[in-house]
Structure 1
Amino acid sequence: MQAVIVQAKRTPFGYKNGMLKAYQPEQLAAPLIQHLCKTMVPDDVILGNVVGGGGNIARLSSLEAGLSLTIPGMTIDRQCASGLEAIRIACTLIQSGEGKMYVAGGTESISRSPMKERARFSPAWLGDPDMGDATERTAAKFSVSRQKQDDYALISWERSMSAFKNGTYTEEILPIGKWSTDEGSVKIRPIANIMQRAKPIFLPKQGTITAANSCKEADGAAAVVVMEKAEAEAKGLRPILRYAGSAVTAMNPHYPAASPIDAMKKLLQKHQLSIEDIALFEINEAFAVKVALIARTLGISYDKINKRGGALCLGHPYSASGAAMMVRLFYEAHTLPQGSYVMAAIGSGGGVGLALLCEVL
């Protein structure tokens, strides 16, 4: 059995307490599910969610979308890696013969979250640093300077601004209510002018992380349709990406920004591939230090990473971010030769790294 991705969409992303603040997570996911299931009935809906009100948000979203009462729904939490993990689970279910069609992704309304404090990532005896503190530790441990972070951040911001200007994001986005574009498109400032003036936000005196080289929290949802290849072709659907494999690893929770590195290495080794064999990478931009560190460690050119920009401008809706990366790769795949490989990688609180590999069909 081969698992393939045949459709992909995301909502616009709105900053925390911004344009999408009135929407609950199921209200963000439901329009996507309706759109992706217009002519098909999935075996299940699998969604990541991190800061919702609890319960089975995937089932709630499915019902909110008007799908059959017989579709179960499954919600998972691997923190920021949840949306990518949902897609990974759907692909492996198809490969095992358990089903033939799944909607998989993530949905997050940070604005509407009832959680007053963040969840614990690790036990107190091991230390449970906030993500900002942990990322500053990562930057210090691996010697990623403020300048290196700002250098990458400027590239990413410029790519996002170009994508807004050229309408590149339009193909990714399913409008929600009156919103058809990301909040970042109307709040972009001349980032080059403020990059060097931005002050550290976690360690005021010696810190390297600023509002310009880190993401904003955001609301949004993203999902893909994963199908068994023969089933997709029988229904007249064009497979765009074939799931080739994945890897998940973990490390010291104090250095979560470094966590995708081992997952990416493991995945490449498992498939006997090198960095040169991968045409495009999507790496979550919760912090610029993460991309700068991964690129340096693995020898990846920025030309291959996040061609459409990423969370530094668009925002980071936790569990939806990994799925949004797959949405971007889905549309970028249309520009790549058949047989090319693409990879999505993300790290999450607690020091967990996840990487997923696909072949362009």
Structure 2
Amino acid sequence: MTVVVAARRSPIGTAGRGLRALLAHELAAPVLAAVHDDAARTGLLGADGAARSPGDVVLGSCTGPGGNLARVSALAAGLGTAVPGLTVDRQCGSGLAAILTAHQAITAGDTDYVLAGGVESASTAPHRAHRPGAAPSRDNVAAQPYARAPFAPPGFPDPDMGPAADDLAAARSVSRVRQDAYAAASHAKALTAQAAGTFDRELVPLPDLARDDRPRRLDVAILAKMRPAFTSGGSVTAATASPISDGASAVALVSDAAWSATGAPGVGRVPGLRIVAGAVVGCDPALPGWGAVPAIEAVLARARRTVSEVAVIEIVEAFAAQVLATTDALGLDPLGADSGRVCPDGGALALGHPWGASGAVAVTRLFSTLVVGGHPAGTLGLAAAAIGGGMGIAIVVEVVR
């Protein structure tokens, strides 16, 4: 097993705003350096913690510039030339996949300390084009730019995420009224948390942006007047879809043996989140937003737990419809009794959705809420994301002290 002993994130900026001038590695490097420093201060890295380097850096990213972004970021963070890097792409689940990959490496005995997370700079992501003569068009004559790579090959559904969210809302009977209410609630939670300084401990301020720029007060009466954003007659609007964003997040993971050696239970041990189980699943590519449901079901089964036993659930809020379809399937009421359990300080609708980082942001939020927030040992948290192409990813963690 492995234990998350530190977790940080950058402010999340709406694409084209405060973080628009920073390249992906420039977002990731200060976050990696900060979380490494946090881990060093725990004493888990030895008496001279700053000299102890991680065995690897694993970062998720969807639209990065290539060149092994994790390695570039590790070097930029000043971690030393001996620290390697691995970049993973599981689309919106990339940051969470990076953490599970690091967990697997530690569990296998390859290393006992890894930094893992995700980063996305939508503002500086490169434009892509098919080479001349190789464009996938009927006449095959010229280079063609494209907005995104396919999530699925020909013969399979390959919807953009917005129309897919409309389809999911229709398939699962998620009303426009509930979507508007959920988006407004997410922003209200985030504003409350921001005003209370809840995010301060986890944030690594960056040039031109010291805090998340997205949260604002939303009036459901005004939201009700907004037009569908993606399909005629659809229910998803610009307010109930997460914004394209820039940001980074990372956590420090150590082996359970290294953590256990620091002292007796509750006496001298560094508080953290032990990874109990992880799961990645596939689902119908036509309804990719559904992927979080089977992923959560799978990870709870592996952890031998039920959703009623989980204190805090962080679901990446790509769309309000997506979250509501997931919580409906799990028997949760995020607009009522479970408001304090599901994204209790708001989620991607309010903070922003830097695709490759969002899964790691969810784990960082769990760390702040459960560990920094003082929850007792044994308290469970869950993070999950639906993924383009029809996949889902989830993780169950428990507080250790």
Smaller-chain TM-score bracket: over 0.9
The corresponding residue for 1:292 is: 324
The corresponding residue for 2:250 is: 223
The percent identity for this pair of structures is 39
1:80 aligns with one of 78, 92, 96: 92
The corresponding residue for 1:259 is: 291
The corresponding residue for 1:132 is: 162
> Which residue identity lines up with residue 101 of structure 2 in the other structure?
I
> Which residue identity lines up with residue 226 of structure 2 in the other structure?
A
- 5 Å-filtered alignment, 1:95-110, equals 95-110=107-122
The reply on whether 1:199 has 2:220 as its aligned counterpart is: no
- 5 Å-filtered alignment, 1:140-179, equals 140-179=170-209
The corresponding residue for 2:357 is: 320
The corresponding residue for 2:315 is: 283
The corresponding residue for 1:246 is: 278
Q: Please say which structure displays the higher CA radius of gyration.
A: 2
Distance 1:360 1:37 in 2: 20
Distance 2:303 2:180 in 1: 33
1:329 aligns with one of 350, 358, 366: 366
The corresponding residue for 1:344 is: 383
Distance 2:356 2:122 in 1: 10
Structure number with higher helix proportion: 1
Change (3 A) 1:237 1:32: farther
Name whichever of 173-182 and 6-15 sits farther off: 173-182
The reply on whether 1:10 has 2:9 as its aligned counterpart is: yes
Question: Taking structure 2 as the reference length, what is the TM-score of the superposition?
Answer: 0.86
Q: Deviations over 1:3-57 (max 9, x none)?
A: 0000000000110111100000000001111122232410000000110111200
The aligned length equals 357
Name whichever of 293-302 and 348-357 sits farther off: 293-302
Distance 1:300 1:238 in 2: 32
Give the CA deviation at 1:240.
1.1
What SS does structure 1 have at the residue aligned with 2:398? strand
What SS does structure 1 have at the residue aligned with 2:167? helix
Distance 2:183 2:105 in 1: 37
> Which residue identity lines up with residue 211 of structure 1 in the other structure?
A
The corresponding residue for 2:210 is: 180
Give the CA deviation at 1:233.
5.4
Contact 2:188-2:217 within 8 A present in 1 as well: no
The corresponding residue for 2:236 is: 209
Distance 2:323 2:351 in 1: 16
What SS does structure 2 have at the residue aligned with 1:107? strand
Distance 1:342 1:121 in 2: 29
> Which residue identity lines up with residue 388 of structure 2 in the other structure?
G
Distance 1:237 1:108 in 2: 34
Question: Taking structure 1 as the reference length, what is the TM-score of the superposition?
Answer: 0.95
Distance 1:232 1:31 in 2: 25
2:125 aligns with one of 107, 113, 126: 113
- Structure 2: gaps (5+ residues): 38-49, 129-146, 263-267
Distance 1:35 1:170 in 2: 13
- Structure 1: gaps (5+ residues): none
Give the CA deviation at 1:271.
2.5
Contact 1:102-1:227 within 8 A present in 2 as well: yes
Aligned Cα root-mean-square deviation (Å) = 1.5
Contact 1:233-1:239 within 8 A present in 2 as well: no
- 5 Å-filtered alignment, 1:41-56, equals 41-56=53-68
> Which residue identity lines up with residue 347 of structure 1 in the other structure?
A
Q: Deviations over 1:75-108 (max 9, x none)?
A: 0000000000000111111111111000000011
Give the CA deviation at 1:237.
6.6
Contact 1:51-1:115 within 8 A present in 2 as well: no
Contact 2:2-2:274 within 8 A present in 1 as well: yes
> Which residue identity lines up with residue 377 of structure 2 in the other structure?
Q
